[in-house]
Amino acid sequence: MSWVTVEHDGVTHRLAVVRTQNGVWVGWPGRTRFFERESQDAAASMTQDEIRAPMTGRVIQLRAQPGDQVAAKAILVVLEAMKMEYRLTAPHDGTVSAIHCSEGDLVDLGKTLVTLDK
C-alpha cells in the first residue's frame, strides 16, 4: 500500500492507494473506491482524435491551425507546467479540425486542446 496526500479547500487529506491487476483502490476515512483499468483499445479510441492537456498548465505555443495537414508525432501544442515544457503531438496523420485554446491560456487537466480528423 502507498499513500497520497491531497489538499482540497485548504484541508490536507491522506489517501491510501492499492494497485491491483484490474485497477486501483483508493481509501480515505470512511470510504473506499475502486477505479477499474481501461483497456488500451477503449482508451485509444476515446482519445485518438483529441489532444488533451496531460496536466494543468499554460499554453505557450500553438504550432497548428484549423485546416492544417499534420503528420503523426508532429508537435501541435507546447504546454508549460511545473517549470517544464510538454510538447503535445499528433497521434496519427490527419487534418486539424479545431483548436480549443489560445497561447497564454491556463488549461486544466483533461481539457481538449486540439481536435484532429483522419
What stretch of H or E contains 26?
strand 23-28
The reply to whether 32 and 52 lie within a common domain is no
CA angle in degrees (0–180, nearest 5) for 109-86-59:
65
pLDDT confidence of residue 84: 87
76 shares a domain with 54: yes
**Are 85 and 53 found together in one domain?**
yes
Number of domains in the chain: 2
CATH number for the domain harbouring residue 99 = 2.40.50.100
Q: Are 95 and 116 in contact (CB under 8 A)?
A: yes
More confident residue, 114 or 26: 114
If DSSP codes are grouped into helix, strand and coil, which group holds residue 51? strand
Q: Do 32 and 65 fall into the same domain?
A: no
Distance CA 68, CA 94 (A): 8
Phi then psi dihedrals of residue 45, to 5 deg: -70, -30
pLDDT digits (tens, 9 = 90+) for 59-111: 999 999 999 999 999 999 999 988 889 899 998 999 999 999 999 999 987 78
Q: What angle do CA 93, 98, 100 make, to 5 degrees?
A: 120
- Distance (Å, rounded) from C-alpha 65 to C-alpha 114? 9
27/54 same-domain check = no
In this predicted model, what pLDDT tens digit does every residue of 5-61 receive, in sequence order?
A: 888 888 888 888 888 888 888 887 777 888 887 655 444 444 458 888 888 889 999
Q: Which residue range is the domain that position 30 belongs to?
A: 2-36
